[in-house]
Amino acid sequence: MSRDGLVRIPDEVQGQSHARITAIVIVTLFLLVTAGTGLVDSLWPLPFPKLMGEEKLLDRRLRERVRFSDGTAARLVERNCRLRSRIRRLVSQDYTFALFWLLDEAKETVVVGADKWLFLTSRVYPFSDSDHRVAHTAARLAALDRRLSDSGIHLVVAPIPRKSVIYKSYLPRGIDPQPHLDRLFLDELRVRGVHSVDLLTPFTAHAAETLYYRNGAHWTPRAEAIAAEAVCREAGILIPEARRSSEMKVTGREPEDLDILRFLGLELSDTKTLRERRFRRFFADQTVDSYEVFDIETGLVADRSPEGMKRISIFGTSFTALRRFPRFIAHFAGEPVWNRAEPGGNIGRLLFSVLRNTSLVRSPELIILEIPNCQAVREGPSRIAGELFTLLQPTKYATIVEHDQFDLAQRMHEPFQCTHARRRVAALPPGVVAHSADGIVSVRLAGRVSGGTIGIEVNSNYGDVTVPWSPDQSELIVPVLGYAPSTQTRIYTKASESRKASLTLQLHDIQLVTDLNYTTAEAGIIGSITRDGTRWIEEIGFERAVPESSFAALELRLEARGPFSGSVEITVTSSDRTREELIVPVKKIRRRGIIVLNLRALEGAPLASVRVVGGGRSPNSVVKHARIVEKLDYST
Amino acid sequence: MIFASSVFLYYFLPLFLVVYYLSPSSFKSYAIALFSYVFYGWWRPDFVILMLVSTVVDYSCGRGIMRDRASGTRGKRWVAASAITNLTLLGYFKYANFGIDSFNHIFRYFGISPIAWPEIVLPIGISFYTFQTMSYTIDVYRGTSPPVRNFRDFMCYVALFPQLIAGPIVRYNSVADQLHERNHTLAKFYRGVLFFQIGFAKKVLIADTIAPIADRAFELVTLSTLDSWVGVFAFAIQLFFDFSGYSDMAIGLGLMMGFRFPINFNKPYRAVSITDIWRRWHITLSAFLRDYLYISLGGNRKGAIRIYFNLTVTMVLCGLWHGAAWTYAVFGLYHGALLILERQLGKKAPYARAPIPIQILLTFILWLFGLAIFKCPTVSSGFAYIGRMLGLTSNGLAGASLVIRPAHAVAGIIGASIVWLAPASHEMVPRARLPVIVLLQVLFMWALVHLHYQDHVPFIYYQF
């Protein structure tokens, strides 16, 4: 360092005689390596790699959103250079392999476990709020279940346990995949009454049989067979073995699926090159039992033609698409299965694309929805598209709250400008209605949209859903969703980012509604307030508490007299002792508020009792009216 | 664009060098300015306008000062105009989110509805180029530098891509002469290549390899005492190799264009006190704050209390310069307090009489406590992390929370060896012998291969 703090460099190369030659060699080498790589990659680039699954989706999203001004175009150029770099391909493959082989080293996208088991990082580490994400996904599925049942479709959800949970023992020390989340997802579905298949229990029991590939992200044929049988049993379509026209047996051994190696940086697409043959040899010792089903030639390849629709259809991701899982279901159910799964597919969008198809010869009677838990745990609700709720509008509804109780940003019938930024159209003051936030309550918007399609976001404070509203629709019924019971409802608009024209919304009516049939409601008998230690209890009985439908709800209209904190806990007990009590905490409800609780989890079982419990000083009375309301077949 | 990226290394740099060396002398500054705008605009083209505004304003202010001086006044209004413009830009883009968030926090506490505020994108490197342009106006005002001869040279100075977004902070008076006239020799280019290779290897092979340990340690809430020390040590190594690696690359690129930039790091982890560490760590920032802030506040001239006040203000602002968050303010305050303590105790400081290795160790430990707050997202999480370092954790002394793979351990050991045993880059490069040069070529090639292998990892100091 010189006195002025600047780096001190002699003007000439000094010292030994070869110093000048060394300098020339080093400079030439530096320029050759940098400029040479650029030249080779520019003049002889590799073809763009074939992207699969989520990579493909991400790539599409990136290209859709690309702009010059915000630098995304530059990122795309960088990415393309990287993916098409011949030099990179040449040098990084051996380097990657050496790191993996010698040091168990991998990129951040892959976790290397014991015995070189590989796990995708994104499927190992949940988010800090994964508990909420799981519950929110379950709430969306519960709302979807209600809407599908309106169309006569039975939904069965099959959550696939994570490899990192079943084979947790292979994970490196210190990595916690939070296995409770996989169980939680099942519990959250069950508590909302969504018909779901517990694959966690059989998978844990059969873990020794290699249910997931060591170097692959997917399940083995053995796991597919176990899952298919469990799904068919749960859905009530399992036929006895004697009636099955096909035969399932182990036909030998087959090589492992090595799809995680791509994330590691090893491309095994080209078996001709010496390097890739060497890589394959290294992984060749890993084989699994190969299962095959004979005589039913259906289900393996996705059938997307509307004419091909069968009674049973399956929607899902790469765990279903191009695998044997649908064929195994067909085997256990004894009938063909219509397979509409896509690698990395957004299940909501897949469902939407099928159900909106007017040329569909018939609707499926049973939809099996395969959801990998890694999606429920990490990405959560974004995977179930809002468009579905626009498409599956309830055929009938009953009003709970009229428009005069809403705070409106603009007066009714006046045009409301929609912008790229989220703008609030209306909100229901907190505490007016408390509900399960799983589609039992919806916001009904009547009005006119002009200038193009707008996005309507309904936010419950514990979650949200965004649905499109197009100019040809005069009414939209959007479920209010969240991961916990909510007393808040806010409605926002947002124009799509690519939209340049002026978008307006003229609201003619706004209500909070439910798809339940109030005319057949069963009224409850409200007892007087009693005390139990520090708590007060108000018991409600029913003369005939047997819901006819599995889609039932409990409605409590409050008119609290005396001291009332606004926080209560509702406990619903079924006379069916095998069912757990339904306990729902409600916070910040008004004295004259309404509570609507989903009884779907009871699946039509009779109610033994309903108790409203609170703390602090006892009020004189709380509930004014209580009744069980049901969703019956409106067509009868 | 970042130095450790394919686009920079294989396309931008070779093309720039070709254009630069083929340009006649009078056009070299234009070539630098043009390529620098592409370099900066690669990240966000629209923010190039912001840099141009800063350039035009300070150039005009410099001219204004000279005009005022010719007419017998000092030109104070031009310094004020420059400071207001630059600090307003910096305040809006860097500190507005922080200010509004802090107010909203208070509002929410009192039940007042928060201020709706769209999130402002922080232009990378704004703290660096804003300080540089301000240094020009102040130097011209103080008469320590002559005003720039033409706009071309000033554009080149402000936009100079090697040090544009992560330092070293090149003050105008350091490069005023070089902007106008500099020589291009094989010796400079060659040493520049060596500097660049050292910096590149530091960043890719050490900083990026050890980064996951630091990131993971600061993500986890359940961490044992030993793991928390490992985590903060990993961060100290990562931060040093990342930032000093960038500075070495910047110095190297500067030399390739004939510039001599200031040294930014001088073996900081071998400092024997906190006062010493700030003379060795990010030297250009320390010098800037000393000359333009601490001395302007009165420096050491106005009694003990005022010195302590000046030190505290300077260090808190030094902390906030790194980022708009309370953690950085607390980091600055912590260092301000340590500097005051060292100043007050002088040779009575507990570690002043200890052997040199103990002094180095104690200084490094004090530095690690500061880094724990620096790295955490909130002050409370920073203190919680320090609590874990002090054993206030339910996860025991040596629980297994961090996954340390062989590569992490190797990078950590090599990093520590370089930090405490190897000479600094600016000492090594001018004296490098053949075996060292060959080793450097191997490391550079290895780093290039590793760059192909790894995904994009930005420099830490880009965010500042």
The b-or-e profile of A361-373 (16+ CB within 10 A means b, else e) is: eeebebbbbbbbb
- In angstroms, the separation between the Cα of residue B317 and the nearest Cα of chain A is 23
Give dist(CA B411, CA B203) in Å, integer: 11
Contact yes or no for A485/A434 (Cβ under 8 A): yes
Measure CB to CB from residue B441 to each of A4, A29, A38 and give the nearest one. Answer: A29
Average pLDDT of span A69-78: 84
Give dist(CA A98, CA B450) in Å, integer: 12
Render B38-83 in DSSP notation, one character per residue: HHHHTT-GGGHHHHHHHHHHHHHHHHHHHHHHHTTS--HHHHHHHH
Interface test with B, best of A1, A26, A76, A121 (most B CBs within 10 A): A26
- In angstroms, the separation between the Cα of residue B448 and the nearest Cα of chain A is 9
| A275-279, B241-245, B389-393: the lowest-pLDDT one | A275-279
Measure CB to CB from residue A175 to each of B9, B190, B403 and give the nearest one. Answer: B403
* pLDDT tens-place string over residues A389-413: 888 888 788 888 898 889 888 888 8
Q: How large is the ipTM?
A: 0.88
What's the pLDDT band for A53 if we cut at 50, 70, 90? low
Measure CB to CB from residue B454 to each of A71, A103, A107 and give the nearest one. Answer: A107
Under 8 Å CB-to-CB from A178, ≥6 apart: which residues?
A: A126, A130, A377
Under 8 Å CB-to-CB from B404, ≥6 apart: which residues?
A: B213, B230
To which residue do tokens 């490098």 refer? B432
Distance from the first to the final alpha carbon of chain A: 92
Mean pLDDT of chain A: 82
Highest mean pLDDT among B44-58, B165-179, B398-412: B44-58
- In angstroms, the separation between the Cα of residue B73 and the nearest Cα of chain A is 30
What's the pLDDT band for A300 if we cut at 50, 70, 90? very low
| pLDDT at residue B343 is higher than 70 | yes
Are A13 and B186 inside 8 Å of each other by CB? yes
Chain A 500-519, residues with CB within 8 Å of chain B CB atoms:
none
Residue pairs spanning A and B at CB distance below 8 A: 154
Q: Does B445 touch chain A (CB under 8 A)?
A: yes
CA proximity to A546, closest of A602, A597, A606: A606
Q: Does B185 touch chain A (CB under 8 A)?
A: yes
Q: Does A38 touch chain B (CB under 8 A)?
A: yes
Are B6 and A85 inside 8 Å of each other by CB? yes
The pair of three-digit structure tokens given for residue B133, joined into one six-digit string: 């342009």
What's the pLDDT band for A165 if we cut at 50, 70, 90? very high
Chain A 96-155, residues with CB within 8 Å of chain B CB atoms:
96, 99, 103-105, 107-109, 112
Are A4 and B194 inside 8 Å of each other by CB? no
Searching chain B, which residue's CA lies closest to the CA of residue A70? B44
Q: Which residues pair with A458 in a beta bridge?
A: A465, A491
Q: Which residues pair with A315 in a beta bridge?
A: A340, A369
To which residue do tokens 């966000």 refer? B44
| pLDDT at residue A271 is higher than 60 | no
The CA-CA-CA angle for residues A78, A82, A83, to 5°, reads 120
Note the Cα B264 to chain centre separation in Å.
8
Q: Does A23 touch chain B (CB under 8 A)?
A: yes
Give dist(CA A95, CA B449) in Å, integer: 7
Q: What is the residue type of A70?
A: D
pLDDT value, residue A612: 92
Measure CB to CB from residue A71 to each of B9, B42, B190 and give the nearest one. Answer: B42
Mean pLDDT of chain B: 87
Are B426 and A1 inside 8 Å of each other by CB? yes
| pLDDT at residue A168 is higher than 50 | yes
Q: What is the residue type of B121?
A: V
To which residue do tokens 């109610």 refer? A607
Give dist(CA A162, CA A534) in Å, integer: 44
Contact yes or no for A232/A195 (Cβ under 8 A): no
Measure CB to CB from residue B437 to each of A9, A22, A265 and give the nearest one. Answer: A22
Q: Does A274 touch chain B (CB under 8 A)?
A: no
- Strand ranges in A115-180 using DSSP code E only, listed in sequence order: 118-120, 154-160
Give dist(CA A252, CA A289) in Å, integer: 6
Average pLDDT of span B245-272: 93
pLDDT value, residue B412: 93
CA proximity to A410, closest of A426, A421, A429: A426
Q: Which residue has the higher pLDDT, B402 or A443?
A: A443
Highest mean pLDDT among A38-42, A125-129, A218-222: A38-42
pLDDT value, residue B297: 85
How far from B281 is each of B174, B268, B269, B270, B407, CA to CA, in Å?
19, 5, 8, 10, 27
Taking contacts as CB-CB distances below 8 angstroms, the residues of chain A near B449 are 91-92, 95
The 8-class DSSP code of residue B88 comes to H
| pLDDT at residue A382 is higher than 70 | no
Under 8 Å CB-to-CB from B205, ≥6 apart: which residues?
A: B411, B443, B446, B447, B450
| pLDDT at residue A350 is higher than 90 | no
pLDDT value, residue A632: 66
Measure CB to CB from residue A11 to each of B15, B183, B429 and give the nearest one. Answer: B183
Give dist(CA A495, CA A456) in Å, integer: 9
Contact yes or no for A185/A377 (Cβ under 8 A): yes
The pair of three-digit structure tokens given for residue B129, joined into one six-digit string: 């180029």
pLDDT value, residue A255: 72
A19-43 and B186-201 helices, crossing angle to 10°: 60
- In angstroms, the separation between the Cα of residue B459 and the nearest Cα of chain A is 16
| A365-374, B292-301, B334-343: the lowest-pLDDT one | B292-301
Average pLDDT of span A492-517: 81
How far from B45 is each of A72, B14, B41, B153, CA to CA, in Å?
10, 22, 4, 22
Give dist(CA A627, CA A542) in Å, integer: 8
What Rg, from alpha-carbon coordinates, does chain B have?
23
Are A95 and B212 inside 8 Å of each other by CB? no
Determine how many CB atoms are found less than 10 A away from the CB of residue A357: 12
pLDDT value, residue A295: 47
pLDDT value, residue A297: 46
What's the pLDDT band for A634 if we cut at 50, 70, 90? very low
How far from A148 is each of A346, A363, B139, B155, CA to CA, in Å?
18, 11, 73, 64
Interface test with B, best of A2, A3, A4, A9 (most B CBs within 10 A): A9
pLDDT value, residue A223: 92
The pair of three-digit structure tokens given for residue B135, joined into one six-digit string: 């240094």
Consecutive H or E run containing A612: strand A607-615
Render B240-262 in DSSP notation, one character per residue: HHHHHHHHHHHHHHHHHTT--PB
Contact yes or no for B260/B218 (Cβ under 8 A): no
Average pLDDT of span A606-631: 86
* pLDDT tens-place string over residues A453-468: 888 999 888 888 888 8
Measure CB to CB from residue A107 to each of B45, B187, B455 and give the nearest one. Answer: B455
How far from B227 is each of A104, A139, B387, B389, CA to CA, in Å?
21, 39, 13, 8
Give dist(CA A635, CA B33) in Å, integer: 75
| pLDDT at residue A377 is higher than 80 | no
Q: What is the residue type of A198?
A: D
| pLDDT at residue B119 is higher than 50 | yes
Interface test with A, best of B190, B279, B402 (most A CBs within 10 A): B190
- In angstroms, the separation between the Cα of residue B72 and the nearest Cα of chain A is 31
Q: Which residues pair with A541 in a beta bridge?
A: A525
Average pLDDT of span B385-401: 79
Q: Which residue has the higher pLDDT, A465 or B114?
A: A465
- In angstroms, the separation between the Cα of residue A97 and the nearest Cα of chain B is 10
Under 8 Å CB-to-CB from A549, ≥6 apart: which residues?
A: A604, A630, A631, A632
Q: What is the residue type of B215?
A: D
The 8-class DSSP code of residue B11 comes to I
Chain B 231-270, residues with CB within 8 Å of chain A CB atoms:
251, 255, 260-263, 266
The CA-CA-CA angle for residues A325, A328, A331, to 5°, reads 155
Q: Does A265 touch chain B (CB under 8 A)?
A: yes
Are B17 and A41 inside 8 Å of each other by CB? no
* pLDDT tens-place string over residues B408-458: 899 999 999 999 999 999 998 888 888 999 999 999 999 999 988 876 545
- In angstroms, the separation between the Cα of residue A55 and the nearest Cα of chain B is 15
CA proximity to A439, closest of A121, A208, A138: A138
The pair of three-digit structure tokens given for residue A299, joined into one six-digit string: 């289900």
What's the pLDDT band for A125 if we cut at 50, 70, 90? confident
Q: Does A74 touch chain B (CB under 8 A)?
A: yes
Contact yes or no for A620/A559 (Cβ under 8 A): no
Give dist(CA B309, CA B317) in Å, integer: 12
Contact yes or no for B8/B2 (Cβ under 8 A): yes
Highest mean pLDDT among A118-127, A572-581, B26-35: B26-35
CA proximity to B324, closest of B34, B23, B15, B100: B100
| pLDDT at residue A580 is higher than 50 | yes
B322 annotated active-site: yes
Give dist(CA B154, CA A83) in Å, integer: 38
| pLDDT at residue B316 is higher than 50 | yes
3-class secondary-structure state, position B84:
helix
| pLDDT at residue A294 is higher than 60 | no
- The three-state (H, E, C) secondary structure of B200-216, written as one string: HHHHHHHHHHHHHHHHH
My answer on whether omega of the bond before B406 falls inside 30° of 0, hence cis, is no
Are A9 and B266 inside 8 Å of each other by CB? no
Are A22 and B187 inside 8 Å of each other by CB? no
Contact yes or no for A565/A622 (Cβ under 8 A): no
Are A7 and B261 inside 8 Å of each other by CB? yes
Consecutive H or E run containing B7: none
Overall pTM surpassing 0.90 (yes/no): no
How far from B187 is each of A15, B24, B182, B246, B378, CA to CA, in Å?
12, 20, 13, 21, 47
Give dist(CA B129, CA B93) in Å, integer: 13
Taking contacts as CB-CB distances below 8 angstroms, the residues of chain A near B191 are 9
pLDDT value, residue A635: 41
**Active-site annotation holder among B105, B282, B322, B452:** B322
CA proximity to B49, closest of B166, B57, B165: B57
The torsion angles phi and psi of A160, rounded to 5 degrees, stand at -95, 120
Sign of CA dihedral A91, A94, A97, A98: negative
Where helices occur in B71-150 by DSSP H, the ranges are 76-90, 96-109, 126-142
pLDDT value, residue B35: 94
Contact yes or no for A254/A290 (Cβ under 8 A): yes
Q: Does A575 touch chain B (CB under 8 A)?
A: no
The pair of three-digit structure tokens given for residue B164, joined into one six-digit string: 């544009």
| pLDDT at residue B96 is higher than 90 | no
* pLDDT tens-place string over residues B144-189: 888 887 888 899 988 889 988 777 888 888 888 888 888 888 889 9
